[in-house]
Amino acid sequence: MEKGTRMLPEELRRFFLATGGHSLILRGNAGVGKTTFALQAIEEIKEIDNSFYFSTRVSDALLLTQFPWLAKKVYGDDIGDSVQEEMLRKQEEELVQEAAATATSDEDTAEPKRPWFSRMKLVWGSGINLRMGQNLQQNRVELGPLEKIYEALERCGSERTLVVLDSVDAMAETCGINQASLITTIQKDMVERRRADFIFILESNDRYLDYLGDGVIELSVSDHHRRRIREMSLLKLRGTPIGQPKYLFTLDGARIRTFPDRPESPVMKSRWIPIPDMSGRVSLGMKDLDRMMQNGVPPGSIVLIELGPDVPPGTCNLLEQSMVANFATLGRGVLWVPTKKETSGGARERMSDLIGDERFARQVRVPEVASQIEGANDQYIMPVEGNDAEADLRWKSISFSLKGTSTPYLSIIGFDTLESIYGPNVMDRFSTHIASVKRNKAIMVGFITPSSRSRDKLVDLATHRIRLDRIGGTTIVYSIEPFTECNALVVDRKGDSPEVVLVPII
């Protein structure tokens, strides 16, 4: 993660940086990323003076191997570790200095510093049961691990402190007490009295302890067409408005990256920088899409892109523009039927900043029904009758219109638009065009929506299938053929040249 970059939700920062102490219950099943989340919170919320990570289930040596930046923040059970010995030595020196500066002893304080902890010792340690009709039973309790947390906080004095307890389940079992008592004791003594901040990690998705925390976040892993999806649900953050209640996230390199809800797509303004082909495979104009397709697609490919019902139109525009711009900038010819029905002039305006009007007129042809053409018949307009797709889109006619451009050609077809011109059964007269694409080693990219009547026949003919869906506020992209995991579609908004980036969800 780059310096200064924040990958966790902004709501989390606002929650912990508000006045007072705060407790967050972080729950989820094994392997979902709870420990990574908590440790990353320590790293990202730098405004808090002190941070500690307590674990009764993960060794410090293993943690420092996976998270080397934790060297000064881990405070767990394995105090034989050299790093922790040095920490303890420094903390003891600070405690002595603090004691010398403050002439007040515990006996001078009217109210004990650990009232709930003292009560726990009395009730659990002695075996006294306050309920009528029950036998007194001597409980086996070991409150030493919990006492270390108190000691760490007391050494910090009045400074702001964030503590991660990983996990409540393991700590409660080690101490011989129940989870609710453990959380309640810490909440009363440390969060409310000392105004410390706590992240309580629970090892399951059970909700019965949610009422004890000021905030609750749930991490989960679900299945989307046999592909992993990670979701983060912000269920409660007391005193903090939740702008986006659910985030998709990925877990890579011991880092969590969340994807904010940004359905709008920026307009591409700067000149296109072409992406070259690799190893005889043709680039589709996006590096990450090429990666999904194993470094591009071979000449003669039929690529089907299926758009889910909630995918923003702007996302489709970015994909189209990237493909058209890359082929045209490489000097190749492009036949373009836009996914949204628009005039050829509107299509030219969308590409003007990327490739310029002159290149667009030379490299790109936009079919338009002759009877609907207004004004001059510009070079980029390819007049068609609008009755027979096979006759209008003959490969010989396309090649003649694109004379002087390089191959392989790109035929990029929005099938909703094509069906609006030729009717819902356009595929009955379009298979000849597809056969010509294969025979002439060109590339066809077809865009379909849930309303496209041509879908089933295109699925049978496609050599590659890509699917876009929307979960929450995030558009995800995955390939059906070849099979790939899900990727989050992110628009990198650096400067005037936004770039479509696909981040693997792992």
Torsion-angle region of 503 (φ positive above 0: left; ψ -120 to 50: alpha; else: beta): beta
Taking the mean position of all CA atoms in its chain, how far away is CA 109?
50
Give me the mean pLDDT over the 205-221 stretch.
Answer: 95
| 492: β partners | 499
* Least confident segment among 124-128, 278-282, 420-424, 480-484: 124-128
- Residue-level pLDDT at 455: 95
> pLDDT tier at 104 (50, 70, 90 boundaries)?
very low
418/470 Cα distance (integer angstroms): 25
Domain boundary assignment for the chain: 10-223, 287-504
Which pTM was predicted? 0.83
Contacts for 266 with CB less than 8 Å, ≥ 6 apart: 491, 493, 498
**Region 359-372: what's the mean pLDDT?**
94
Peptide linkage before 309 cis (omega within 30 of 0): no
Weakest mean pLDDT among 211-225, 262-276, 423-437: 262-276
Tell which wins on pLDDT, 457 or 102: 457
Phi and psi of 190, rounded to 5°?
-105, -40
Quote the CA–CA distance of 260 and 271 in Å, as a whole number: 27
What's the pLDDT at 343?
87
Q: Which CATH architecture has domain 10-223?
A: 3-Layer(aba) Sandwich (3.40)
183-186: long-range contacts (C-beta < 8 A, 24 or more apart)? 183/23, 183/25, 183/209, 183/212, 183/213, 184/116, 184/212, 185/116, 185/117, 185/119, 185/120, 185/146, 186/23, 186/146, 186/149
Q: What is the pLDDT of residues 268-290, one digit of tens each?
A: 778 899 999 999 999 999 999 99
* SS3 per-residue string spanning 371-427: HHCCCCCCCCEEEECCCCHHHHCCHHHHHHHCCCCEEEEEEEEEHHHHHHHHCCCHH
Q: Tell me the CATH number for domain 287-504.
A: 3.40.50.300
Q: Say whether 287-504 and 10-223 share the same fold.
A: yes
Q: What is the pLDDT of residues 375-404, one digit of tens each?
A: 667 899 999 999 999 999 999 999 999 999
